[in-house]
Structure 1
């Protein structure tokens, strides 16, 4: 699941980005309304987390603009504005949920899982590449009917590889989408995680799916089907 977080509270953003990524989600960050709208227009996000008190504008205006641009990604409002009329206005503008600040990360994750379950019912959320499947709602991965247990980081890595199935995805792209923004790009952490993932999804099966394109990146063989 790909999430866009639009919020100008940098300390909160850093905390949420880390927690969401540890939970296995891909997270893009925008610290202003303009940056958020730009990313939303090109990002293909599955969920937008939107603060209401942004520099120079309000989250309500951002939400109106998103819908005017035809961007239909679900929007969950995160705000310290907690009076009933704020909640009503946000929901009337099309937000699917309203989370009052301060909140616990576990509560936010539970609400996001609710969104995933809802999407599973309306958008068919099982990905398949050859005999490898990923259920985005239950977060279960199977190959040829065999359940595969992944860590949150491995799951997020596989999600990116499946999203780009049949195409090469570079180490830099994986670093940006799966790891923290201050990640040391000179380290071999990506290679180590790809190696561990390859053992889980390829070892013991007749054919291999995950290949290394030397000097470029990695590719999952096949094409993505959504069932």
Structure 2
């Protein structure tokens, strides 16, 4: 197997880092080793690693801080390695976005098995078709064709309403009931204005694609 990108081993114990490197190289992976937490983020930007084995206790910057920053810009899988066995550390590491957690002492074969499992899982996810439309209600954001949409709160509610039941035709009155919660007085033509703006933003994200269909005399539906 030829790795498309290296596995990054971040460990300040030279013998342990060399041991992990040797086992991973023996399995066909390219490996790069670091021994300082300050070097991790710049290295990720340069090498775009497939996976990171990240020690918790590092000089310069500890693994939890590094993992926290990584998750602000990268989804690279992270396996945290530590001598700490307290439950709070394990939970904190996973809450920060670590994909797995291995406590010292460990078997290098177990580490390799975990690496293979995570990379295999990632490959399966990549093989799945990517949804054209993704709506995150908690973060109040949406993507169409992988492109972020700059939507107003009303536009997001409108899109979410249509997307909840693709193919269903909503009348203007039905949409209005779901768009405004403060009982303001608006006309049903307000929906048309929001639909126009929403279509423009969808078209900007994916030129030539308009999933919103107008049903004359009835209303609108979403077809994905």
Shorter-chain TM-score: which interval? 0.5 to 0.7
Matches within 5 A, 1:139-150: none
**2:117 corresponds to which residue?**
114
CA distance in 2: counterparts of 1:56 and 1:45, whole angstroms: 21
CA distance in 2: counterparts of 1:71 and 1:116, whole angstroms: 15
Higher strand share: 1
CA contact (8 A) 2:38 2:60 kept: no
Task: Give the CA RMSD over aligned residues.
Answer: 1.4
Kindly tell me the number of residue pairs found equivalent between the two proteins: 124
**1:31 corresponds to which residue?**
35
Q: Does 1:51 align with 2:55?
A: yes
CA distance in 2: counterparts of 1:26 and 1:123, whole angstroms: 21
1:74 maps to which of 66, 73, 77: 77
Name structure 1 gaps, 5 residues minimum: 126-227
1:89 maps to which of 83, 89, 92: 92
1:103 maps to which of 106, 115, 121: 106
Matches within 5 A, 1:57-68: 57-68=61-72
CA contact (8 A) 1:41 1:71 kept: no
CA distance in 1: counterparts of 2:36 and 2:60, whole angstroms: 9
For residues 126-152 of structure 1, give each alpha carbon's deviation from its aligned partner in whole angstroms, at most 9, with x where no partner exists: xxxxxxxxxxxxxxxxxxxxxxxxxxx
Report the Cα offset of residue 82 of structure 1. 1.1
CA distance in 2: counterparts of 1:58 and 1:33, whole angstroms: 6
CA distance in 1: counterparts of 2:101 and 2:15, whole angstroms: 21
**2:179 corresponds to which residue?**
none
Structure 1 pair 56/34, CA: closer, same or farther in 2 (3 Å)? closer
**1:162 corresponds to which residue?**
none
Provide the TM-score with structure 1 as the length reference: 0.52
CA distance in 1: counterparts of 2:126 and 2:96, whole angstroms: 22
Name structure 2 gaps, 5 residues minimum: 129-224
**2:14 corresponds to which residue?**
10
Bigger-Rg structure (1/2): 2
Secondary structure of the residue aligned to 2:71 is: helix
CA distance in 2: counterparts of 1:83 and 1:13, whole angstroms: 23
